[in-house]
Amino acid sequence: MRGLQVVIYVGPEKDYSPKSLLCHYSPVFCDWLEVKMEDGDEPKKTLPDDNVDDFEVLVEYMLNGNVADIFSVKEAGENAVERCVAFLLYAKKFDLGDMTDIVHDPFKAALSKFCESAFKPEHIGVVFGTTPPGNSLRRLVTQAAISTSVVGVDRHKTYRYLEREAIVEGFAFESLQAIRGWSKFIEFLGMTSEPATERRELGVPRY
């Protein structure tokens, strides 16, 4: 891409990126890079605490508009959930807007495959902190947390998920809505007396 290139120091790495691209997607970068340079100085920004991989994914998104493949189970394996969460945080840092459409499908696929081993309680806080009320990612992680509890994971791990209701704003409400929805679905099917594991086998959705 042509145009003025700016130097971005990410951790120990030096990267050249088009100024117009960074400013188009990120008002944060725009504010930083609009500062007048001294004569002879090249436009630059230092991000000493940032992760190089996170920055490269961010630039890839700006260039191509989609980075879902990077977060796929095929590409990232069990780290897919962590990669999705990291991207949500990094995109918020630079005010890129709502990234739901980018991460939803790979996030859902990774939760479905690796939920009990890759899904962490702190992921709930990240999703709720980077998305607005009613967002589909909020529903996704809420359903994952409740489903993990219903199917009989050890009580300590279950508590670590549900205690987030007192910590994460909006999570308790989403949990209540999800439980009500499942209860009505089970009641409709006439399965209210079935054990939780049998309900799951009979098609009660996990997430």
Q: Which DSSP symbol is given to 136?
A: H
What is the pTM (predicted TM-score) of this model?
Answer: 0.77
Average pLDDT (90-97) is: 94
pLDDT digits (tens, 9 = 90+) for 72-85: 999 999 899 999 99
**Angle made by CA atoms 105, 111, 115, in degrees to the nearest 5:** 175
Helix, strand or coil, per DSSP, at residue 204: coil
pLDDT of residue 36 exceeding 80, the answer is no
Task: Quote the mean pLDDT of the chain.
Answer: 80
Q: Which DSSP symbol is given to 131?
A: S
CB 47 within 8 A of CB 8: yes
Q: Tokens representing 129?
A: 């902190």
| CA-wise closest residue to 70 among 8, 33, 130, 55 | 55
Helix, strand or coil, per DSSP, at residue 143: helix
Distance between CA atoms of residues 157 and 148, nearest Å? 9
pLDDT of residue 181 exceeding 60, the answer is yes
Structure confidence at residue 201 (pLDDT): 45
> Which amino acid type is present at position 123?
H
Q: Which run of H or of E encompasses 162?
A: helix 155-162
Structure confidence at residue 204 (pLDDT): 42
At residue 5, φ and ψ (nearest 5 deg) are -95, 135
At residue 170, φ and ψ (nearest 5 deg) are 95, -15
